[in-house]
Amino acid sequence: MFTPWHRPLMLATYLFVVILLVSVVGLIVDDRLVNGDPAWLKPAKFALSMIVHDVTLAWLLSLLTRGRRTAWWLGTVVAAMTAGEMVLLVTQAGRGRMSHFNNATPLDATLYTVMGVLIMVLWFATFALAVILMIQRVRERSTTWAIRIGMGIALLGMAVGPLMTGPTPEQATGASDVIGAHTVGLPDGGPGLPVLGWSTVGGDLRVGHFVGIHGLQVMVLLALLLIALGTRHPRLNDDGTRLRLVSVAGAAYAGLMVLAVWQALRGQSVVAPDALTLTAAGALAALTLLGLAWSLRVSSGPSRKGRGCDSSSTCTTSSTRAPVSTRP
């Protein structure tokens, strides 16, 4: 039976689509700059990110079999918090003002404080949703664990945000119009990557933040891709194999996020890694390759020998393949 996707989250998504279109128009017709970037670039990036975030949660909530009422209310809180954040971002873009770290006027400081409260509530609501998703099985085991791992990575990625809010050493010496920064070791607004804006001359906490908060989408897409590939590659038709691959990929992705945050905290640009960072990245890559090789070589039991048998189904003869269960 088809379960509708979470309506408040989808309504928030439609709002973000409108904001994205407005922001694109703003990028074309409004030549104002905010801290060195086009005034409407940040709302455009945030709107696109929020679209992906809220659509993913709306879909996940439609798969729940337990705690659905609680999850519905938590999803509604997420929708309200993300919508409120976007409205404030658009308000500041329209005013030609910084939305984050802005302490220039009482209004700017108040709006930034409100955004901080919205993000804090959003984190706790997402954490509660993660708990509900953790205690039940959603589709195949590999998909279930992809969702669990992805939610954990997303929560860690969101938790990088507070690292940006404290005053820098320069700001702490006296009254400042700006409190906090994305960039470590240098003021915000310097040279950055096109569109993304990540600093090319200093550490930038937005890299790990971005990698983390979209870990859920990466893990879910990986699980669905492995299922699709299973129709062509018998080895991937085994859910146990897919589960191991998802677990290794999740550990590697979490390691990548931690590496990006560690690199940024050392004041090092993402495009200029030093020998220590490269060594750590190389070790992470080597461990990941070993893990993937192990995942594909290890036996999952009697279903490996040509039966196309999924861990959630009953083994049949080689001429009759058991369908992959999609029931929770």
Buried b (16+ CB within 10 A) or exposed e, 66-91: ebeeebeebbbbbbbbbbbbbebbbe
Going by the DSSP 8-state scheme, the letter that residue 64 receives in this structure is -
Q: Residue 138, by phi and psi: left (phi above 0), alpha (psi -120 to 50) or beta? A: beta
Q: Going residue by residue through the chain, which has 328 residues, state the pLDDT in tens, using 9 for 90 and above.
A: 556 899 999 999 999 999 999 999 999 999 999 988 999 999 999 999 999 999 999 999 999 988 999 999 999 999 999 999 999 999 999 999 999 998 899 999 999 999 999 999 999 999 999 999 988 888 889 999 999 999 999 999 999 999 998 888 777 776 778 888 999 988 888 899 998 999 999 999 999 999 999 999 999 999 999 999 998 988 899 999 999 999 999 999 999 999 999 999 999 999 999 999 999 999 999 999 999 999 998 766 554 444 444 444 434 433 344 444 443 3
Which residues partner with 183 through β-bridges? Answer: 204
Name the nearest CA neighbour of 138 among 59, 213, 212. 59
Rounded to whole angstroms, the Cα distance separating 153 from 20 reads 26
Rounded to whole angstroms, the Cα distance separating 224 from 290 reads 22
Rounded to whole angstroms, the Cα distance separating 257 from 124 reads 21
Q: 315 vs 245, 296, 311, 318, CA distance in Å? A: 22, 20, 9, 9
Rounded to whole angstroms, the Cα distance separating 149 from 151 reads 5
Record the pTM: 0.86
Q: Which residues contact 302 (CB under 8 A, 6 or more apart)?
A: 309, 315
